[in-house]
Amino acid sequence: MKIRPGIELANLTDVGCTRTENQDYYAYAEAESDKEFRRKGRLAVVADGMGGHQGGQVASTIAVEAIRDTYLQDEGEDPEAALIAAFSGAQAAILQLASEHPELTGMGTTCVAVAIRDGRLHYGHVGDSRLYLFRNSTICRLTRDHTYVNRLVDEGTITPEQAETHPDRNVLTAALGMNRAVPAEFGESTLEASDVLLLCTDGLHGLVSDAEMLATTTRGSPSDACRELVALAKARGGFDNITLQIIRIDNGGEERQGSSHNRAEG
């Protein structure tokens, strides 16, 4: 895969230590033509599927590929509007397939996606896959988990520290595939040179602390960081599939052409 200059990219997914199949999925994509690249920028997506009878694997694949295709084919000039349309398309595609195949009823997926264009970061997410921004040795989580426990934190019922070990911390309150309007949230931010973005599933952030992610991601190359973080999560039990993408911004993310997607390594 050829990636236009402006970023350093690495991604990795692993089945973990206890699961028999990988229901995570990810993609990185750029438009093929330089003209479209200038209009659409870069896109990275990570999803964590759920559902029996291969449902989670199907849902995460549909979500990532629908978001990628819809975003790149969108004819508008607003990246956030294109992301919103892309999440809506993914929601519709998952529900449509579930209606046609009863054995897939109840399948769904978390999802986090970023678009980088003109030195701006646009992002959308649903569920508990996360997006982090590392800048000047600090860490900022840009997404808010859509979970039952996070709702309790928002209500003041429990503390963030209690949430980390709560037995229901993985119970989702929103995901693509839930039979209602897409419950995704969207945002944007300015990017600076040397910023690092980390997209990941809960198989990583459930076992590796923010401080450990910051230290690992900022001391070495993105590819080394991906391997180290996956190894750390597996050393602590690897209770779930582990997937991450790391993007280091060289100069606002502006102009290495192509598309990459994968399910499992290791």
Q: Map out the domains of the chain as residue ranges.
A: 7-262
Tokens matching residue 91: 């929601």
Handedness of CA 152, 157, 161, 162 (dihedral sign): negative
In Å, what is the CA distance from 106 to each residue of 49, 53, 55, 89, 96?
11, 10, 8, 18, 12
Q: What is the pTM of this model?
A: 0.91
Cα dihedral 61, 64, 69, 74, rounded to 10, equals 150
Contacts of 181 (CB under 8 A, 6+ apart): none
Tokens matching residue 177: 């595939």
Tell me which CATH homologous superfamily contains domain 7-262. PPM-type phosphatase domain (3.60.40.10)
16 backbone dihedrals φ, ψ, rounded to 5°: 85, -165
* Interatomic CA distance for residues 58 and 69, integer angstroms: 16
> Of 42, 46, 43, 44, nearest to 4 (Cα)?
42
* Interatomic CA distance for residues 5 and 205, integer angstroms: 29
DSSP-assigned letter for residue 102: G
- Kindly give the confidence (pLDDT) of every residue in the chain, 266 residues in length, as a single tens digit, with 9 standing for 90 and above: 579 999 999 999 999 999 999 999 999 999 999 999 999 999 999 999 998 768 999 999 999 999 999 999 999 999 999 999 999 999 999 999 999 999 998 899 999 999 999 999 999 999 999 999 999 999 999 999 998 888 887 888 888 777 777 777 778 989 999 887 557 999 999 999 999 999 999 999 999 999 999 999 988 899 999 999 999 999 999 999 999 999 999 975 666 434 455 654 43
Alpha helices in the chain (DSSP H): 34-40, 55-73, 79-100, 148-155, 160-163, 202-205, 210-219, 222-235
